[in-house]
């Protein structure tokens, strides 16, 4: 489908009453500007009513083939001073990268006559050749023969080694008896005989090894006759795939407002991973900025939202707004936004400034605190102020790492602090052994049907978008949460959480994920919708005192 030359979209209604953004959106943590909300409303209306192409977003059709997508809008001003917006989607829709109404990709790898398609065809041909060669039944026959020969040789050699050990022990006994019962000449003759027996067994071991090595090599040669060609083709496929990928990286070239181009390889070579991750440059935000710079449109603000069925791993809700991903987009957008006045990164502002930590309990070896909301447990990359720093300042003679367990910055509630290394070890052991009892209270942004249950979803970090977590059955760590409803009111549900494990963001993921409670915690800016706070509080804590062993129970009611 051909792409329109001018994708600048005007607003359907007057925007004279709206103030333009003072600075461009900080893409990795933002609240959409009102004009972006208006643009999103128009784009979503278009998605609901257009009939030029079909894509299964999950509203109808097979649930197995449903694929939701991230969409983005970029508020722009043209050379005539008119304000409108551009639209984009991430990846592919309707099996294509280019659709009318949406900006094109930075580089269209699916161009029919392009090098990538041709390279993919060549890779497919090599793969088919490999498949045909691997299907030769003689390969399985010679593999079986090689395995049998190696196993037979191993057993034969092991059997002979066992006989050598028995023979060595027998000769030693015979030598001792001969020494006691024979004269010197006869004893020397006996030693000579025993030595010959030992040499014969060693020579036989040598011959056995040679024989079975020869037999295995013959089988290996028979197998290699058929597999060497496969090895060569696989090496050829690997080299071609690498070359194709590098050429792709070179063709993804990104502009900034000063007209400076940088390709993916140049952009990512200064990052820790150095190599661009899969899909880099295919997200909506880089596409939007690229088109704007190419057509002399001034970027004013942006917003991205999810449309359609939630994926099975990450948390994405229909029509919810999301920040640009860090792993793929941050290096690219850092270049593209160079020289543009961007909103300050709110994550660089110390949220704990002016807040105090309340002491719930203290003695000579431990302290229990009520951590305020928006307060780091340990120093972050950019902010040092934290529970650790405050405790170090309050207890300067304390030794060890102090922090026994952590709460997310956004979570309030009970934390236990150890004042020396030995106590830290004893307390931490209780957490590791899961003998500590914890109860959280949370407010969910929706109504739950059931009254209680257990969520069992394994978790791992999203490597492309830290610190987000994913549900992953292949590489994730076991994560279980027991929950029960306290109350339902105003389309919200208040619940108790009893975490059986303690994974990062466990309660937040188990709440929001489609296979969990499918209802995010109110104020969850990563997996739900931002509010004045995250409505999650560590309410009770029960453990044994590290020195007296007495059972201790602490409780601080949530402020919500």
pLDDT digits (tens, 9 = 90+) for 390-442: 999 999 999 999 999 999 999 999 999 999 999 999 999 999 999 999 999 99
Q: Give the single-character DSSP code of 280.
A: T
For residues 513 and 456, the answer to whether their CB atoms sit within 8 Å is no
From 79-83, 202-206, 347-351, the region with the lowest mean pLDDT: 347-351
Beta strands 412-418 and 536-544 are parallel
CB under 8 A, 24+ apart: contacts of 187-194: none
From 52-61, 355-364, 373-382, the region with the lowest mean pLDDT: 52-61
Residue 3 pLDDT greater than 50, yes or no: no
What pLDDT does residue 94 have?
A: 85
* Residues 232-248 as b or e (16 or more Cβ within 10 Å = b): ebeeebeeeeeebbeeb
What pLDDT does residue 27 have?
A: 97
For residues 407 and 371, the answer to whether their CB atoms sit within 8 Å is yes
What pLDDT does residue 414 have?
A: 98
Percent share of the chain, pLDDT over 90: 92
| Mean pLDDT, rounded, of the chain | 95
Which tens digits make up the pLDDT trace of 244-281? 999 999 999 999 999 999 999 999 999 988 899 989 99
Residue 324 pLDDT greater than 60, yes or no: yes
Q: With bands split at pLDDT 50, 70 and 90, how would you rate the model's confidence at 5? A: low
What pLDDT does residue 1 have?
A: 36
- What is the spatial distance between Cα 280 and Cα 541, in angstroms, rounded to a whole number? 44
Q: Closest Cα partner for 439 from 500, 387, 489?
A: 500
Residue 502 pLDDT greater than 80, yes or no: yes
Residues contacting residue 306 through CB under 8 Å, at least 6 positions apart: 68, 69, 70, 71, 316, 317, 318, 319, 320, 322
Residue 316 pLDDT greater than 50, yes or no: yes
Domain 349-555 sits in CATH at: 3.30.2350.10
Using CA atoms, how far residue 543 sits from 42, 102, 392, 398, 554, in Å, is 55, 57, 23, 21, 9
Percent share of the chain, pLDDT over 70: 99
pLDDT (mean) for 531-540? 97
What pLDDT does residue 2 have?
A: 40
Residue 4 pLDDT greater than 90, yes or no: no
Q: Is 125 helix (H, G, I), strand (E, B) or coil?
A: helix
Q: At what angle do helices 326-336 and 284-294 cross, to 10 degrees?
A: 20
Q: Give the single-character DSSP code of 386.
A: S
Question: Where in the sequence numbering do the catalytic residues fall?
Answer: 408
């Amino acid at each position: 489908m051909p792409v329109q030359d001018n994708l600048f979209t005007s607003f359907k209604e007057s925007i004279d009453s709206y103030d333009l953004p003072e600075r461009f959106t900080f893409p990795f943590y933002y609240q959409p500007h009102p004009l972006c909300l208006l643009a999103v409303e128009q784009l979503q209306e278009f998605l609901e009513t257009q009939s030029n192409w079909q894509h299964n977003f999950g509203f109808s059709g097979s649930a197995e083939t449903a694929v939701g997508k991230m969409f983005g809008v970029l508020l722009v001003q043209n050379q005539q001073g008119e304000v409108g917006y551009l639209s984009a989607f991430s990846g592919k829709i309707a099996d294509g990268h280019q659709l009318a109404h949406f900006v094109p990709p930075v580089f269209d790898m699916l161009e029919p006559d392009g090098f990538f398609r041709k390279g993919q065809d060549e890779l497919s041909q090599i793969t088919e050749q490999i498949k045909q060669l691997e299907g030769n039944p003689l390969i399985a026959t010679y593999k079986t023969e090689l395995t049998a020969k190696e196993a037979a040789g191993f057993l034969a050699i092991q059997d002979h080694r066992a006989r050598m050990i028995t023979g060595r022990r027998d000769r030693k006994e015979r030598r001792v008896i001969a020494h006691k019962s024979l004269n010197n000449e006869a004893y020397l003759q006996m030693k000579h005989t025993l030595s010959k027996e030992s040499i014969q067994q060693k020579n036989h071991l040598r011959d056995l090894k040679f024989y079975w090595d020869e037999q295995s090599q013959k089988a290996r040669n028979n197998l290699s006759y058929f597999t060497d060609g496969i090895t060569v083709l696989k090496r050829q496929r690997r080299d071609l795939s690498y070359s194709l990928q590098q050429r792709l990286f070179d063709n993804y070239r990104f502009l900034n407002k000063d007209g400076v181009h940088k390709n993916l390889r140049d952009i990512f070579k200064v990052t820790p991973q150095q190599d661009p991750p899969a899909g880099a440059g295919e997200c909506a935000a880089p596409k939007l900025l690229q088109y704007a710079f190419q057509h002399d449109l001034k970027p004013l603000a942006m917003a991205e939202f999810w449309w359609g069925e939630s994926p099975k791993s990450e948390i994405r809700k229909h029509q919810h707004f999301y920040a640009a991903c860090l792993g793929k987009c941050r290096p690219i957008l850092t270049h593209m936004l160079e020289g543009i006045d961007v909103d300050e990164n709110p994550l660089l502002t110390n949220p704990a400034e002016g807040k105090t930590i309340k002491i719930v309990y203290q003695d000579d070896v431990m302290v229990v605190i009520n951590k305020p909301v928006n307060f780091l447990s340990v120093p972050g990359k950019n902010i040092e102020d934290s529970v650790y720093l405050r405790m170090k300042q309050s207890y300067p003679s304390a030794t060890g790492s102090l922090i026994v367990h952590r709460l997310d910055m956004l979570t309030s509630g009970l934390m236990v602090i150890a004042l020396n290394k030995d106590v830290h070890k004893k307390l931490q052991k209780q957490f590791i052994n899961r003998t500590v009892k914890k109860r959280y209270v949370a407010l969910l942004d929706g109504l739950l049907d059931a009254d209680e249950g257990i969520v069992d979803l394994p978790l791992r970090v999203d490597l492309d978008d830290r610190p987000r977590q994913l549900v992953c059955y292949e590489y994730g760590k076991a994560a279980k949460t027991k929950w029960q409803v306290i109350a339902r009111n105003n389309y919200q549900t208040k619940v108790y959480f009893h975490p059986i494990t303690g994974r990062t963001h466990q309660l937040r993921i188990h709440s929001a994920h489609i296979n969990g409670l499918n209802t995010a915690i109110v104020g969850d800016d990563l997996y739900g919708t931002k509010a004045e706070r995250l409505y999650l509080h560590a309410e009770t804590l029960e453990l044994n005192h590290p020195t007296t062993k007495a059972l201790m129970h602490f409780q601080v009611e949530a402020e919500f």
